[in-house]
Amino acid sequence: MGKVKLAVIVLLVLLSIPLVLLCGTSSALAMETGTAPFRDYKEIPGITDDEIAAITALQETGGPLIYAALASGEAYARDGELYGFTALYCRLLSDMFGVEIQPRIYEWNDILDGLENSSIAFTGEMTATEERRANGYYMTDAIAERSIRYTQLEGRAPITDMAEGETPVFAFLRGAKTAQDVAANVSYEFETVFMDDRTEAYERIATGEIDAFFGEGRLDTTIDGYSGFDVHFFIPVITNPVSMTTKDARYAPMISVMQKALALEDFRQYLSDLYTNPILKAL
């Protein structure tokens, strides 16, 4: 078997693995009925009186609490409704906590600003790091794992071929971890440009100012309203965990509760099933 054919087979096997937490045997409850292992957060082992008191106070505010997402295959609008994993995850949170968690689509820089000023309660777009936690972010362990992909003009040569000529210019979202991951996994030099949102990246790809834009998850330029681009998996395949995140201490008890849920195999498997659900229901 040739090396190219073998590489393709290996890649297909890797991509067939659910890009969420691989965690062994599945929960019969999640697999057979499609329902969450917990209907109420108080059923999760280890919940404290302080957490219950804090969440009860949030319930009394009436909500909604905004959960921000980038437009992607995980969060996309159609006919006025939101589809994808993000919509399903927010429905799960709303049911468990008795507070409306409302998913909305934002640009990256608006998500960062909204977390800072508390107009956004949560996001699932950030990878947990010690630096972020030290800077005031409350973050769970992974709720999903996303592969790095890149966008370039339709029909352009692969990025490895670009690197054989002039130094390519690669764009990344400002403050994202993706730039570090790509730099650590290529053997050639490239110029780094940081963007505040993906719209700017697509526009600068179209004008030839940058060669490729790198992001994570189910990127799809048609969701953002653009055409004439190709989206490719970055090779070697790299997956990064993303966490449920807030920067407002009022919502920290919900992060704490979700962290306790994520310690349970059945719940992790349920999220994996939710992420790979072939029929993503509208919220």
Of 98, 44, 82, 93, give the one whose Cα is nearest residue 246: 93
In a domain? residue 2: no
- Same domain (yes/no): 116, 162: no
- Same domain (yes/no): 82, 221: no
pLDDT value at residue 98: 95
pLDDT value at residue 34: 58
Which residues, including other chains, have CB under 8 Å from residue 219's CB and lie 6 or more apart?
72, 73, 149, 151, 231
- Same domain (yes/no): 87, 37: yes
- How many angstroms separate the CA atoms of 108 and 196, rounded? 6
In a domain? residue 1: no
Entry pTM: 0.72
- How many angstroms separate the CA atoms of 137 and 129, rounded? 9
- Same domain (yes/no): 227, 265: no
Helix (H, G, I), strand (E, B) or coil at 231: strand
Q: Indicate the pairing of strand 229-233 with strand 76-78.
A: unpaired
pLDDT in tens, the chain (283 residues): 444 344 433 333 333 333 333 333 233 333 333 577 888 999 999 999 999 999 999 999 888 999 999 988 788 888 888 888 999 999 999 999 999 999 999 999 999 999 999 999 999 999 999 999 999 999 999 998 888 889 988 888 778 777 667 889 999 998 888 888 899 998 888 999 998 888 888 889 999 899 999 988 765 544 456 678 888 888 888 888 899 999 999 999 999 999 999 999 999 999 988 887 644 433 3
pLDDT value at residue 219: 56
pLDDT value at residue 30: 35
In a domain? residue 10: no
- Same domain (yes/no): 128, 251: yes
Indicate which CATH number applies to the domain containing 78. 3.40.190.10
In a domain? residue 26: yes
Looking up tokens 């292992």 gives 37
pLDDT value at residue 279: 47
Burial of 212 (0-12, 13-18, 19+ CB in 10 A): buried
- Same domain (yes/no): 128, 171: no
pLDDT value at residue 216: 82
Structural domain boundaries, residue 22: 17-143+244-275
